[in-house]
Amino acid sequence: MIIDSHCHAGHADGLTNSYTTFEDICVSLSRMDDAGIDRAIVFPIATTKEADEETASIVKQYPDRLWGYAKVSQERDAGQVHARLRYAIQELGLVGLKLHGMLNRELMDACEDLNIPVIVDPGHKPWGLQWAAKAYPNVNVIIAHFGSFLSASEQAHQETIWMARKWPNIYLDTSGVMRFSWLEEAVRECGADKLIYGSDGPVVHTGMELAKIRLLKLPQDDLDKVLCKNIARIAHLQV
């Protein structure tokens, strides 16, 4: 079983890029078929209740291929995060939270209460995430892109690897890590238990990201952890 744990789908209000306008799940599914990838986790593009509902609708169209995460805004949804996530998880059937920016107590309290993981893109500045790992040991925090999409900040990669080694509940999402040596470093420093395969599709081809993981030449048991077992365990997925 191979799970792409980082994929986008649905609509938003932007008109500048695919990732702010529309991401077609059919593109991702076709590429998954080409690459031999069984299932994926999809995130909304927008941070609205309607975007969560659209994600749930997409998942229901392909229940044997997809799971979905919710997405909220720290600022706009302040004071309403718990209600938003309760609806997304308990009513819509979503299984986690995708976030851009920094974590706060309202978000972490909600994730802890609902027993869901959060994947966060810290925008090349991951260091501030470790307070959440320390204060909320029961919430699994996945740092997207090793903290820096396309390896724009090698310091961010270094910091996330250090944090994943130190904190039991911090994991590293492999999507968009352009400098292959950092994937190798993460395996050496943290072990396969801390890596989770994702692509950031459809902007990035899921097969290309999968090839990077295979080039690590991990033992089969470790490869299975990165490609499936780690995310299935922390997101409580039925596989």
The confidence band for 108, taking pLDDT boundaries of 50, 70 and 90, is: very high
- Going along the chain from its start, the domains and CATH numbers come out as 3-234 (3.20.20.140)
Q: Is the pLDDT confidence value at 14 over 90? A: no
pLDDT of residue 43: 98
CA 103 – CA 83 distance, rounded (Å): 17
- Contact between 59 and 87 under an 8 Å Cβ cutoff? The reply is no
pLDDT of residue 138: 98
Token representation of residue 66: 């997809």
Place of tokens 């910091």: 159
**DSSP state at residue 73:** -
pLDDT of residue 235: 98
Q: pLDDT tens digit string along 49-66?
A: 999 999 999 999 999 999
CA 39 – CA 237 distance, rounded (Å): 11
The confidence band for 11, taking pLDDT boundaries of 50, 70 and 90, is: very high
Q: Mean pLDDT throughout 154-177?
A: 98
Q: Is the pLDDT confidence value at 17 over 90? A: no
What distance lies between CA 211 and its chain's CA centroid?
18
pLDDT of residue 172: 98
Q: Is the pLDDT confidence value at 19 over 90? A: no
Q: Is the pLDDT confidence value at 15 over 90? A: no
pLDDT of residue 47: 96
How many alpha carbons fall within 13 Å on the CB side of residue 126? 32
CA 201 – CA 120 distance, rounded (Å): 16
pLDDT of residue 13: 82
CA 181 – CA 125 distance, rounded (Å): 20
The confidence band for 201, taking pLDDT boundaries of 50, 70 and 90, is: very high
CA 87 – CA 94 distance, rounded (Å): 9
Token representation of residue 209: 């990201």
Q: What is the mean pLDDT of the chain?
A: 97
* Residue of 90, 103, 89 whose CA lies nearest to 142: 103
- Strand 22-23 and strand 10-11: pairing? antiparallel
Q: Is the pLDDT confidence value at 16 over 90? A: no
